[in-house]
Structure 1
Amino acid sequence: MGIDCPPVTGRKILLLQGRYRLIKRIGKGGFCKTFLAVDEGQFPPIPCVVQELLSECETSKTFEQKAQSLEELGKHEQIPALLNYFQYQQHFYLVQEFIAGRNLAQVVAEEGVFNGTQIWQILEDLLPVLQFISDRHIIHRDIKPENIICRTPPNPKGEANLVIVDFSTAKIVTEIDCLIADNNIGSPEYAAPEQTIGKAVFASDLYSLGVTCIYLLTQIPPFDLFDVVNNCWVWRDYLTTKGNIWQQETKNLRLTKILDKLLQNVVSQRFQSADEVMQAMDIKSKSQDLKLPNPLWHCSSTLTEYSVVSSSVNALVFSPEGNILASTNDEKNIKLWDLNTKKVIASLLGHSQVVKSVAFSPDGKILASASDDKTIKLWDINTLTEICTLPGHSHAVKSVAFSPDGQILASGSWDKTVKLWNVNSGAEICTLTGHQLQVNSVAFSSQGQILASASYDRTIRLWQINSQTEFKNCPCYTLLGILSGHAWAVLTVAFSPDGKILATGSDDKTIKLWEVYTGQEISTLSGHSWSVIGVAFTADGKTLISASWDKTVKLWRLSTTEEIVTLSGHTDSVSAIAVSQVTQLIASGSKDKTIKLWQLVE
């Protein structure tokens, strides 16, 4: 689960049931050991998590009941599926789905304290899960940052990114539980007072969630956030921004009150259910409002990838003339589609790994492609041959963009840098550094003087790019500013045609609009239920198109920032978006292996 631990040592049994090979231990509690394992009974072998429960805390009957309950819980997309369970010698074993990603303890250690917006979203994502758990008469009893995994995107089911793991200490509540005290199970720093004396209730998990939140806000151990003498929490004193200033924002003041009630020592003064917390937050049902069909747009064509092994469509771009669509998928090639015949007219081969971005030069004569193989390739569209390969990045290249004059190519990489290239010579001009995490997207303004780069570090950087004739007298770039405001990774950027507005899409499910020359946030567009992976403007600059892992494409009216219509039809996450600048046509690519063309009906 993203934890670096030594391999299993000193154990006689490394292979359980003849199929589950234990690789390394990734967790240990008082009554449970957790291992990363590989299920060799599958082909190819798949990773899984094996939990070893000691007989001191389970009987055969309670273990069977717990396993049956975990099977039911595992149907929720934010809880690992239970794959198998069995008893061997003196131990009980649970085999669960492996969730790739980092736990919140790792996230805060690597990226620093969370802000109020992030904490609010954590509550939005996790409260429905806790309600789901309690509705099935189960108390988790070990909610803490280490047991909340931030799933590596994308979530194929298009739901929330956070997953609650480790149900080894979970308890099934019965009518007589109020009369019987259990062992003190859980993590003392995060356990509610009643849980420490063996009297856990449903609200105990809410208390632990509250403690988790104040730890993420401060990165201070919970024991140090509690004033024993005065019997109260003092977490505000440890905020990076002083508590009274932090609370001046209306939403943070509201969040503070919610956290305070989650952290009440007396159970009766605490929120009694996750639903009650959600009501206090005005969180509505996640089911989407039904929308009437929009008569102006329809899916005119569906382009199907013909290869059996073909998978997610990773990138799309229209040629400047609007007659060709370039697409990439997991087959490591680039396909060129004739939009008149809707047929593939060429397939460009050469990359050794998946191609993640493509861009046409302004004159349409060159296609640039960026790949996980750490290189960029330039292709001659007339001859359909490779012009050159641009090496230099030390990690996967995720985005490429041409300057409006076609003389400079920018590339963004997971090596945390942006590089500028001379298109004519293929030479590297310079490297732009400063992002703390991977760079996901780059885009030039229409005038070509400003380059925007988006990163997993939750920021967007704006760079002033000088013309090549000026390079001899001054640096090729100047950092103009850093835009901050997204709660999670920024995945995509696009400039409006006049270069005055920058649109950004994020893992936090929102699109933000920024005033380029002041760096001020104009507005936040909410409506998608999962990560926004693509944004693009129409040629007239009046409409913004966004694509999301929630399987939809949305159109927004810039003048009012209202949602115009949602284009639905893909059966899996939308993974790419492109807008023709000469025709009323939108292309969307998906993990369902198709490209859909959406036509505006005049």
Structure 2
Amino acid sequence: MAAPAGGRRAKAPLGAAARPRAAVRGGRGGAARAGGGAPVPVSGAEGRPRAAGGRPLDEEVSSDSETEGPLHGRRRREEAEEEVEETPQEKKLRLAKLYLEQLRQHGESRAGAASAELPLIPQLEQKGRLQRLVAKDVQPPDPASIRVFRGHHLSVTCLVISPDDRFIFSASKDGSLIKWEVESGKKLCVVPGGKKGTEERHMGHASHVLCMAISSDGKYLATGDRNKLIMIWDAATCKRLHIFTGHRDAVSGLSFRKGTHQLYSASHDRCVKVWNVSENAYIETLFGHQDVITGLDSLSRECCVTAGGRDGTVRLWKIPEESQLVFCGHQGSIDCIQLINEEHMVSGADDGSVALWSGTKKKPLALARQAHGMQDAQGLQQPYWISAVAALRNSDLLATGSHSTSVKLWKCSEGFRKLEPLWDIPLVGFVNSLKFSAAGDFLVAGIGQEHRLGRWWRIKEAKNSICIIPLKRRTTVPSSEGPDSS
């Protein structure tokens, strides 16, 4: 489909297929852009990624000017000295700081009242500077309190929680989709998997479902499978609404942009696509990864992050600028990724490492090696693969999963520059998906006998299930802090 003249997007209704553009250049080619500037090759002559002009990629990246002219600076000083009336932007910042101070001094009860008077806190969330310090209050989960829901015949590969924390949607290698009620554990809806080639006649998937996402208003559910298909569902009724085609290989990552019906998808065909679900429209295709994309996540900004498998990179895609930032740090295949807030993210790899990242630095802020320990695989000592990561949004609490018989909880400290292990939660099998509830009072794990992306091992004693892990906190009120030091 030809791109419109002078425009950056092409929009087309989805019929039998939505085709990616035939030729894509600049920020959508093999070279990545740093902050929308000159193209940045993935690796330099010496094997280390370098930006244009020879600057190492692990330096800070900023797209905003940090200098002021002498006239502008003098005017700002004069305004401060004369104590002129504050601008609306300054008022917003002052009220936000006041709210954070109230959180520290008076706790959550005062915060509830203050939040109604101060609706401007999302600005701090947008900047990644609102952090709830809850990890220090999390108590060791009781294994006896874990609830196990069974219904899938093969390994559970992915799951999401509805925005109101009332429902869980899960999918499996058997192609089935199940909607669960959290409180009762009942199956509210089951869409069974079908046989290959029956997608038009059969309501559900006819191959492994690898990923899913739910819109922030809870209206739409999206699922992606190995047959290159994305299916859009009415989350309330589990009725299929659309089928999106256009990817040339397995769909491995999906995420709705928060507050919109814009959907990002990633695939083993190494590209990211952008869709408008409510308009049933394809928007654009982005290229850059050199290997299969294994995971994707997004929040409210018009950007997304991806894990690039064995190309060893995490990438942040800036959709309006048609550019991408490239991050390097893992030694193995990067298999999972999630945003903690708008500025920080966590990723896991099959070298056993868990990494914390900032959007302004090209190397990890913190890297925990052998995060789940070592295993004896065919006489060789190897680290347990990290198969799933989860973050309680805008907080310091993380969770990681492997096939090491446990899920681990972590605390981010020192401005996301340190990862501290908290508790181990015993679970047998491959932890293929992890999600925190929005309120942070429970964690859901998708368990399978096999890894989400392949069949390297089979853990026969594992149960293909989803597990709800209650998270209790001490009676002290979780604190929050303002702009972090990172």
- Post-superposition shift, 1:414? 0.7
The correspondence for 1:542, drawn from 396, 415, 435, is 396
SS at match of 1:314: strand
* 8 Å Cα contact 2:148/2:465 also seen in 1: yes
* 8 Å Cα contact 2:338/2:347 also seen in 1: yes
CA distance in 1, matches of 2:466, 2:190: 16
Query: Is 1:531 paired with 2:397?
Result: no
- Post-superposition shift, 1:519? 3.2
2:234 is matched with which residue? 380
- Post-superposition shift, 1:298? 2.5
CA distance in 2, matches of 1:512, 1:322: 28
2:469 is matched with which residue? 598
Higher relative contact order (CA 8 A, sep 6+): 2
CA distance in 2, matches of 1:435, 1:562: 27
* 8 Å Cα contact 1:552/1:566 also seen in 2: no
CA distance in 1, matches of 2:425, 2:469: 10
- Post-superposition shift, 1:540? 4.1
Cα-to-partner distance string for 1:200-248 (whole Å, 9 max, x where unaligned): xxxxxxxxxxxxxxxxxxxxxxxxxxxxxxxxxxxxxx9868xxxxxxx
Cα-to-partner distance string for 1:459-510 (whole Å, 9 max, x where unaligned): 11111123xxxxxxxxxx522311112111111111113x111211111111
2:328 is matched with which residue? 484
- Post-superposition shift, 1:399? 1.1
SS at match of 1:558: strand
CA distance in 2, matches of 1:388, 1:394: 18
User: After the TM superposition, which residues 322-333 of structure 1 pair with which residues of structure 2 at under 5 Å, given as runs?
Assistant: 322-333=165-176
1:567 is matched with which residue? 424
User: After the TM superposition, which residues 100-115 of structure 1 pair with which residues of structure 2 at under 5 Å, given as runs?
Assistant: none
CA distance in 2, matches of 1:409, 1:550: 33
Name the aligned partner's letter for residue 454 of structure 1.
A
SS at match of 1:353: coil
Query: Is 1:450 paired with 2:303?
Result: yes
CA distance in 1, matches of 2:291, 2:312: 9
Query: Is 1:361 paired with 2:215?
Result: yes
SS at match of 1:297: coil
The correspondence for 1:304, drawn from 111, 136, 149, is 149
Query: Residues 345 and 240 (structure 1 numbering): CA distance in 2 closer, same or farther, change over 3 Å?
Result: closer
CA distance in 2, matches of 1:502, 1:539: 10
1:229 is matched with which residue? none
CA distance in 1, matches of 2:397, 2:230: 31
CA distance in 1, matches of 2:261, 2:445: 28
Name the aligned partner's letter for residue 190 of structure 2.
S
* 8 Å Cα contact 1:335/1:348 also seen in 2: yes
Query: Is 1:413 paired with 2:258?
Result: no
1:337 is matched with which residue? 180
CA distance in 2, matches of 1:301, 1:388: 36
1:84 is matched with which residue? none
The correspondence for 1:494, drawn from 319, 338, 342, is 338
1:216 is matched with which residue? none
Name the aligned partner's letter for residue 221 of structure 2.
L
- Post-superposition shift, 1:541? 1.3
CA distance in 2, matches of 1:304, 1:404: 28
- Post-superposition shift, 1:364? 0.6
More helix by share: 1
1:435 is matched with which residue? 289
Name the aligned partner's letter for residue 447 of structure 1.
S
CA distance in 2, matches of 1:519, 1:406: 29
Name the aligned partner's letter for residue 443 of structure 1.
D
CA distance in 1, matches of 2:250, 2:139: 41
- Post-superposition shift, 1:547? 1.3
* 8 Å Cα contact 1:544/1:557 also seen in 2: yes
Cα-to-partner distance string for 1:339-386 (whole Å, 9 max, x where unaligned): 010121111341111111111100011111111111111100223201
CA distance in 2, matches of 1:297, 1:448: 34
- What's the C-alpha RMSD, in Å, of the aligned pairs? 2.0
CA distance in 2, matches of 1:532, 1:583: 22
Cα-to-partner distance string for 1:525-560 (whole Å, 9 max, x where unaligned): 232231112222113411111112323211111115
Query: Is 1:400 paired with 2:251?
Result: no
Cα-to-partner distance string for 1:568-596 (whole Å, 9 max, x where unaligned): 32222222111111241101121221222
Cα-to-partner distance string for 1:391-441 (whole Å, 9 max, x where unaligned): 111111011000012231011111111111111122211111111110111
Query: Residues 407 and 565 (structure 1 numbering): CA distance in 2 closer, same or farther, change over 3 Å?
Result: same
* 8 Å Cα contact 1:405/1:448 also seen in 2: no
SS at match of 1:488: coil
2:93 is matched with which residue? none
CA distance in 2, matches of 1:380, 1:570: 32
Query: Is 1:509 paired with 2:366?
Result: no
Name the aligned partner's letter for residue 266 of structure 2.
G
Name the aligned partner's letter for residue 420 of structure 1.
V
- Post-superposition shift, 1:295? 4.7
SS at match of 2:280: coil
SS at match of 2:284: strand
Query: Where has structure 1 moved over 4 Å in runs of 4 or more?
Result: 238-241
* 8 Å Cα contact 1:544/1:555 also seen in 2: yes
Query: Residues 558 and 372 (structure 1 numbering): CA distance in 2 closer, same or farther, change over 3 Å?
Result: same
User: After the TM superposition, which residues 131-210 of structure 1 pair with which residues of structure 2 at under 5 Å, given as runs?
Assistant: none
Unaligned runs of 5+ in 1: 1-237, 242-293, 467-476
- Post-superposition shift, 1:450? 2.4
Unaligned runs of 5+ in 2: 1-44, 49-137, 193-203, 374-383, 449-461, 474-486
The correspondence for 1:518, drawn from 335, 350, 361, is 361
User: After the TM superposition, which residues 52-131 of structure 1 pair with which residues of structure 2 at under 5 Å, given as runs?
Assistant: none
CA distance in 2, matches of 1:240, 1:538: 36
Taking structure 2 as the reference length, what is the TM-score of the superposition? 0.58
Name the aligned partner's letter for residue 302 of structure 2.
Q
Aligned residue pairs: how many? Answer: 299
CA distance in 2, matches of 1:394, 1:493: 22
Query: Residues 375 and 464 (structure 1 numbering): CA distance in 2 closer, same or farther, change over 3 Å?
Result: same
CA distance in 2, matches of 1:505, 1:534: 7
* 8 Å Cα contact 1:302/1:594 also seen in 2: no
